[in-house]
Structures are given as C-alpha cells and as structure tokens.
Amino acid sequence: MALTDTTLRELHRRAKKGEKVPMKSDGGGLNFQDGKYWRFTYYFAGKKKRLAFGVYPDVSLKAARQAREKARELLAQGIDPAEKKKAERAEAERIEHEQARTFRVVALEYYERKLTDRRDLYKRQTLARFENQIFPFLGDVPISKLRPSDILVGLRRVEERGSLDMAHRLASLIRQVCRYAVASGYSEFNAAAELSAAMTPKPKAVPRAAILDPHRIGQLLRDIDEYQGSFSVKYALKLMPYLFVRSQELRNARWDEIDFDKAVWNIPAERMKMKSPHTVPLARQVVKLLTELHEWTGHTGLLFPSAQSNTRSITDVGLLNALRRMGYGRDEMCIHGFRSIASTHLNESGKWRSDVIESALAHSERNQVRAAYNRAEYLPERTAMMQEWADWLDRLRAGQ
C-alpha cells in the first residue's frame, strides 16, 4: 500500500518518542525506515543495492517519489544511481575546492613555500605588490579559471598610469604564481605565459652612470680623497673602487668579516644578493685603508656606522649625496658605477678571464657545483687581479 502524509507523520511522531517503528514501503523500491529515513532498494548487475534519499520531514513524500522515479529512469538506461550520485558528489566537491583555490590563495601559498630563502626586503616588496596591485583585480579569480584576458585587464591599468616597467614586473610575478599552480596540479596551463606579446614594451634600460675615461677616473679618486664630509662616507667611497662589491654589501660590512692576517674579506651568504658566501681578496692599499678606518670605527662592529647611531650603517643616500656635493651629476656617476668601471676596464684589458672577473663581481653561477669550484679555483687569480687593479687606480690618482 502506498504511503500517505498522515502515515508518515504518525510514524515520525512515534520514532521521536523512542518507539521502534517498522519499515514501510511506498512501492517501486522506495522504503521509509525508522520513522525518518528514505531508502531506495534496487538491483544492479545482479547485486542488491540501496540508495539514501535523505531524512523526513526535510525530504517530503513527494520529493522522495520524484527521486525514486529519477533513479528508475537511470536504471532503465543502464546507469547505477548510487555510482552516479557518488560521481556528482565528487564533482561538486571538486568545483567547491576549485572555487576556493583562488589566485590569492595560490599566490600566498607560493609566497610561503618558494620565497623562504629570499631577503626580507624582497619578500616585503613581493607581498606588497600582491596585496596592493595584483589581488584587487585577480585575487578572487579561481586559479583554474584564470585566462590571459583577466590578467591583461589589470595590467592595462598599470600601463595607462605610465608605469610600464612595473606592469612587466607584475606580469613576471603573476607568471611565477601560475607556473607554480601548474606544477602543483591546480591549473592546466599557465595563463600568464605569453603576456608579453600583448603588453606595451618596456622602455629600453638606461645604463647606470659611470665615469670610464681613465683621466676622469683619476680626478674622481682625487676628489674623494679631498672630500670633507662624514668619515664613514669618505672611507666607503675610498674603498669602493678597489673592491667591486655592491653598495649594500659594503655599507653593512662588519669588522668580524675582515681577516687582516689573510688579507681577505669574507662576506656571509645572508648579506649577499645571490645568497652565496663571497670572499674578497684585499689589495695592500685596501688593507692600509682598513687599518686607518679601524682606528675610528673598530669599536662599533660596523665598518661604516652612521653619524646618528653606531648600530646602523650609512645609507646609499649618504654616498650619493657625497658624489653630488663633489660635483658629479646623476647622469655622470652613481654608486653602482664603481662596479661598471672595474668590469669595463678589466674586460677590455684582455688579461683576465671573464669567469674570473664575473666571480670577483659576485655574479651568480647557476650551476652550484661549478660555483663552489670557481670560488676556490679563481681566488689566486682574483688576488693577483685585485692587486694589479689597485695599482692601476693609484697610478690614475697620481695623474699617470
């Protein structure tokens, strides 16, 4: 006998009171169990199976019958209703996960996993670019649904502000996140792979200003010797032409990194741009300057403490201001220019192998085994090169 709403209410009332309620059938395989559960019993491939349709009264008699008819239609088509329901549930979960895995979620995962060894400043800049410039237009887009057009909409706005270089930097960052998503199985393809083809080209890089004429290099060295400003700034500028290091590596140098006995400066990996330790051979002229400097700042820990605090080093601004006060404009000489001077003249001399010069400049070697080999193999050549370079600078200073 088919079930009625009255029968269901009564059975449900008795079950709620704790009574044992017998199973009732509505026919066609649809059963009502324990006063609340809908069950559909059927045979598929010779096996007896059951499928849950939900709980009464959330699922009414009418809804349960509709579910039974849909299940019977599937059976007539040779489809197992239980397996279809399982597949639909799995697909719904997949879609839910896909919708939840937005560009923001994947980008922050990339940030946490892939930037662990990068400098704090780089990590702060990267996070700021995500939060302030990328997430506002891409953050809520599921990574698997991301398309090049979605990315270009936001990058076009950056281009329209005239920030072409920043637009390309953001495109590169988005490309890295998309590459991570593909490798992690979150997306089928890198939506940012070919963005450059649709972007406004970056303006050509302007070479950093550097004085390359030997006579003018000599004048620059004499001007530094005559500089009357901060003692730390003066000695940083006096040492910089001899050492080839980056400004931040020199400015933050510590006395415990200097080995006077071996005449070398050992810079730890955490202070190097490429995160590899770097050894700088010290020419006789450098040792002399460092000995003089030690009399003034040896008690501070830092070679070049600022005038305001012995615990903070001088800044790039201080070095640049000194050059400007000496009369060297921004299109004439910059702090990085000292590295350019060394690289240009040493390569043009033809006397030193390019690998040796690159090693002295602490440019990265992608092959880590070769990098370790080079650090040891090139040190004797670099020591000779640094001394000859220092002697050449002294001859320029003397006007020879």
Q: Which residues are designated catalytic?
A: 246, 273, 336, 339, 363, 373
Q: Which of 58, 63, 69 is nearest to 28 (CA)?
A: 69
Residue with tokens 């299109």: 331
**Cβ–Cβ < 8 Å for 7, 61:** no
In angstroms, what is the C-alpha Rg of the chain? Answer: 36
Please state, in angstroms and as integers, the Cα–Cα distance from residue 163 to each residue in 98, 167, 202, 207, following that order: 33, 6, 9, 19
CA distance 336 to 319: 11
Q: Residues with Cβ < 8 Å from 141, sequence gap 6 or more?
A: 102, 103, 150
DSSP letters of 174-222? HHHHHHHHHHTTS-SS-TTTTGGGGSPPPPPPPPPP----HHHHHHHHH
Q: Residues with Cβ < 8 Å from 207, sequence gap 6 or more?
A: 340
CA distance 126 to 110: 11
Residue 42, strand partner residues: 49
CA distance 377 to 370: 10
Residue 338, Cβ density class (10 Å: 0-12 exposed, 13-18 middle, ≥19 buried): buried
**Cβ–Cβ < 8 Å for 341, 210:** yes
Q: Residues with Cβ < 8 Å from 85, sequence gap 6 or more?
A: 51
